[in-house]
Structure 1
Amino acid sequence: MNVGERVLIYGLGRSGRGVARFLAREGLRAEWHDARPGVEDEALMAELGFVRGHVEESYRTVVAAPGVPIDHPDLLALAARGAEIIGEVALAARLRPQLPLVGVTGTAGKGGTTVLIAHLLRENGVRAREGGNIDPPLLDVVDEAEVAVAELSSFQLERVPGLRLPVAVITNLGVDHLDRHRTVEAYHAAKLNITAGQEAGDVLVIPAGLAVATRAQVRSFRPDRIALAGGHEVLCPADLPEGIHPANAAAAVLAAEALLTRLGRPVVPAVFAAGLRSARPVAGRFETVARVGNVRFIEDSIATRTLAVEAALTRAPAPIAWLVGGRDKGADLGPLREAARGRVQRVIAFGEDGEKLARGLGLPFETVTGADGDAVMAAAARAGLAALGGPGGTGTVLLAPIGTSFDLFRDYRARGESFRRAACALAAGEERA
């Protein structure tokens, strides 16, 4: 399907580079615009022969990066001149219409569920690849996959006109990104775009108790029962590997089953059970990265949403030294105060809004300051270990920061890697609490 004679890639970075590589493989030409292109971005554009575009001109199609707000003045002006504004997901669907695409969204758990669905499909003999909001970009995997499983953020789902998914998953709906969407209703509306194009033959997997208007067949999951659609229990939640959340597993089983059925493949419960037992958590999502005696260090750097942080607080072994900080994005702290009660011994505040967040939680805290991210994280890890009694203590030093990473780090991955290095250094005895 033609995307238009003039294409503009608006916003580079990880997503925009994926779009550029894909268009080049298709033999399509494009121009690009980015207010602050990185060295890697400009080098790739030059290599592909893509020239810098001009937002004052007219384009048929604009492929916008997820981080660009839908109401950005440039995008509004381009649309007024006749451009259709889409994202990488819509581009993939249009140019690879025969590729089955499983979409996964939610306020928390969408990354872990995405990876788990792809893993279960591979265990069932399907050449599945994951991508999208999770690495790699979706357009980097569509030509290698028999089935693509895409983690879809609310930002991506704002620009998916006409997208129809044979299988879609909503892990949960909470509160997030109010700095972008402004209201909970607008945020939820973006998330629900995942099912807007579905028809009666498609499947929507949602948590039990969540009501969603959809034309698709609804299959509900519960974290206390990991079962196929007919009710056959696949695995007891207690038998899941460490770091695999039961809700993610329950949703992934239903989604993988629906896709296998659509492909005409057999559904064998024993294969699903073996796949769950061999699953591994996604790096940066509630992962034990080091131990010092009876103190474990758990990294959940991506936990910036209330639901995700609440889940981390509930799952981490108490007592907890909780590392909180980064840039505040308006998370609801009320449920976190309740989840922390009787479990959190001390909050270690760091970064731009760490102290503000700690005060809002109403828990005992201390503040670590500094301008260097690695030095701040090392100090926070030491303080967390000390709060639990040092190497002879017990409990969990938990990085579930609430705030975004952009005050001290490039992204949540860089923040998580910094915590991992600090924890491993303590475990190796290279630093002393």
Structure 2
Amino acid sequence: MTLDGLRSGAVGAEVPGGRVLLYGLGRSGRGAARFLAREGLQAEWLDARPAPEDETLMDELGWERGDAAGTYATVVAAPGVPIDHPDLVAFRARGAEVIGEVALAARLRPAVPMVGITGTAGKGSTTVLVAHLLRELGVRAREGGNIDPPLLDVVDDAEVAVVELSSFQLERVPGLRLPVAVITNLGVDHLDRHRTVEAYHAAKLNITAGQDQPDVLIVPHGLQVPTRAQVRPFQAERITLADGTSVLGAADLPDGVHPANAAAAVLAAEAMLSHLGRPALAGALAGALRSAQPVAGRFETVARLGNVRFVEDSIATRTLAVQAALERAAPPVAWLVGGRDKGADLDPLREAAAGRVSQVIAFGEDGEALARGLGLPYRVVQGEDGAATMRAAVRAGLDALKGEGTVLLAPIGTSFDQFRDYKARGDAFRQAAQALAAEVAR
């Protein structure tokens, strides 16, 4: 059966030529498979390098491997597959509609309104924060999408779905209309996929392409975006409701909650509450903000030693994210930089570091090259593996501070030279910082 058949209520019907293909499995594809199976849909699948758990799930569902030369009504393509992949181009030429998990959820669960959140930096933390605010105000909100878990794993348990949207996901959302959308910022990223900044930004702006006048788009103050939605700008310095009513001062936020994310999240929660016909009171939102917890691995204080904080922001590999970390870290800063360089723009980082960074601690494959490019005093450390390297970096950072400041992991480079992913790198920093703090304290 087709997705159109399902939407029209023809559950279980056989529609000639209405085949559905999952193209690319992994985290997103498995979520889509489980969701479709619950709906009684049969699908085929293709993946160039399926993981064992992918093949096991397909076997359990009894789904057959698809045909790259076949004709399908709908192709649900994982975000890891470039939208201009030759197979996807060929499927479209043969009449298929190529969509992703977000469009699938929106079409098959139209009664579940979504808050969509994108941006070059801060979208994950803002997603978690919006969901937290809504839950604290009595809404059964669930977060998913680009952030774990997959959207299709949580949408059936949600009164409201709060969805982190990457540029890859936003390339495959035809017809998506969001009552509330957020753009945290627009910088430069993923040029290996999008090739140009213009194409990357165009993908991001798909978040508002289907919006209309009753809908709300929340953007940073000063960002001009073509949209038919109501635009509500936010500023990090002013955490307010849409009418300007103050909610909370930036200085009163919990440790690790970025003021810009809080400002955007408050406006998003207010807009969704209005969409649901519920009140959004400043006092209630202030209380919810005070109880917010930072997302692990996103500017999180993982250890303290006297007046020194150890802050883990392993995910900070985009220029905007690193810049935000530098601006938030209490100086003087011992800045851990390294990993594999992915071509970050260093110019804004030199400005953000000026007068705040006492020393760069360079580690990993491209750490020294990045440190030289920053033009700051630096020291190179290394170890026999990633964990040992991180222990040496943390100790060097503490030595550089002389008893006060921040040891900050905001590495610029990706983790793949020495670690499985940014989470593993962050865990190594956390363990090293906590062990060192305990050792010195003894």
Give the TM bin, normalised by the shorter chain: over 0.9
What TM-score do you get using the length of structure 2 for normalisation? 0.93
Instruction: State which of 348, 366, 378 in structure 1 corresponds to 2:361.
Output: 348
**Which of 88, 91, 98 lines up with 1:75 in the alignment?**
88
Structure 2 partner of 1:66 = 79
Trace 1:357-372 onto structure 2 (pairs within 5 A): 357-369=370-382, 372=385
In structure 2, the CA distance between the partners of 1:47 and 1:353, relative to structure 1 (3 Å rule), is: farther
- Which ranges of structure 1 fall in alignment gaps of 5 or more residues? none
**What is the match of residue 285 of structure 1?**
298
1:246 equivalenced with 2:259 (yes/no): yes
8 Å contact from structure 1 (residues 19, 139) kept in 2:
yes
- Is the partner of 1:165 in helix, strand or coil? coil
**Within 2, Cα distance between the matches of 1:186 and 1:9?**
25
Who is 1:9 aligned against? 22
Q: Where do 1:205-224 residues align within 5 Å? A: 205-224=218-237
Q: Give me the CA root mean square deviation.
A: 1.9
Q: Find out whether 1:407 has 2:417 as its counterpart.
A: yes
Match of 1:312 in 2: 325
- Alignment correspondent of 1:91: 104
Aligned partners of 1:22 and 1:140 also within 8 Å? yes
- Structure 2 gaps, min length 5: 7-16
Alignment of 1:398 onto 2:408: yes
How far apart, in 2, do the equivalents of 1:301 and 1:102 lie? 26
Q: Aligned partners of 1:36 and 1:289: how far apart in 2?
A: 37
Mapping 1:10-409, distance limit 5 Å: 10-369=23-382, 372-389=385-402, 393-409=403-419
Change (3 A) 1:349 1:67: farther
Q: Residue 119 of structure 2 contacts residue 183 of structure 2 at CA under 8 Å; is this kept in 1?
A: yes
Kindly state the Cα deviation for residue 424 of structure 1 after the two structures are TM-superposed. 1.6
More off after superposition, 369-378 vs 103-112: 369-378
Structure 1 counterpart of 2:421, one-letter code: D
Q: How far apart are residue 48 of structure 1 and its match?
A: 2.6
CA contact (8 A) 1:178 1:330 kept: no
2:382 touches 2:388 (CA, 8 Å); kept in 1?
no
- For these two proteins, the number of residue pairs brought into alignment is 429
Alpha-carbon distance, 1:32 to partner: 2.2
CA contact (8 A) 1:381 1:422 kept: yes
Deviations 1:145-187 (A, max 9, x none): 0000001111111111110000001111111122221111111
**Segments of 4+ in structure 1 off by > 6 A?**
none
Take 2:24 and 2:378, find their aligned partners in 1: how far apart are those partners? 39
Counterpart check, 1:416 vs 2:429: no
Query: 1:40 Cα deviation (Å)?
Result: 2.5
Deviations 1:29-66 (A, max 9, x none): 22222222222222222233333333233322221221
The one-letter code sitting in structure 2 at the alignment partner of 1:124 is: L
SS at match of 2:21: strand
The 3 A distance-change label for structure 1 pair 399 and 50 is farther
Taking the aligned partners of 2:85 and 2:366, their CA distance within structure 1 comes to 26
